[in-house]
A and B are shown apart, each in its own frame.
Chain A
């Protein structure tokens, strides 16, 4: 096993881990704004790590340039899309989640 193969496996495994973190965030977090935070940060990092692994697999090829363009594009657009959606939600008066919203839910869990 060469160093490149080890790097590819490490990068893809790390990217998959951050993808899992993003999914857990979107499913478990309490409101729209916290979910957008999970998808725009964890998901972008996972994508970049995974695409880095893919670029290493291709070695020296035109496909590396395509992978780099893809990564750069997603790096710019993924947080932008999340920002646009949350800003549209804020304009429509969807109130952010606060600690006060968590209090009754916590007592429900204890009963």
Chain B
């Protein structure tokens, strides 16, 4: 670990900024207009959450958060693929 006070502050500030981005993205979920717009916004919020978890793992010196981030990223990807696959009638998305 090389983290000093300033680096920790920068990491926590970046985590707060990404949380703020996620809150702003809720506007796209509410406004739509199509269902796919909402899926893309939820996907972006999920990736933001993964980045926040990684930043917190570095700032708070908790490497266990990285495992949570990995699982969250996989679930996020599965969510997008499943929704895009099952909304098409023939299911031939990938």
Q: A51 touching B54 by the CB < 8 A rule?
A: yes
Q: How large is the interface on B (under 10, 10 to 19, 20 to 34, 35 or more residues)?
A: 35 or more
Q: B24 touching A51 by the CB < 8 A rule?
A: no
What is the minimal beta-carbon distance from B85 to any residue of chain A, in angstroms? 7
Q: A59 touching B66 by the CB < 8 A rule?
A: no
Tell me whether A103 is interfacial, beta carbon within 8 Å.
no
Q: A23 touching B24 by the CB < 8 A rule?
A: yes
Q: Tell me the dominant secondary structure on chain B's binding face.
A: helix
Q: How large is the interface on A (under 10, 10 to 19, 20 to 34, 35 or more residues)?
A: 35 or more
Partner of B17, one of A16, A73, A85, A88: A16
Q: A85 touching B43 by the CB < 8 A rule?
A: yes
B42-53 Cβ-contact flags toward A at 8 Å (1 or 0): 011001101100
A10-30 Cβ-contact flags toward B at 8 Å (1 or 0): 001101100110110011000
Q: A1-B6, A88-B87 are in contact. Are A70 and B36 (CB under 8 A)?
A: no
Known pairs A26-B28, A27-B25, A54-B55 / 12 extra A-B pairs, C-beta < 8 Å: A12-B55, A16-B18, A19-B51, A27-B27, A50-B55, A54-B58, A59-B1, A62-B63, A63-B57, A67-B54, A81-B84, A85-B43
**10 cross-chain pairs, A with B, having the tightest CB-CB distances, nearest first:** A81-B80, A88-B84, A63-B63, A77-B77, A84-B84, A57-B58, A89-B36, A66-B66, A54-B58, A23-B21
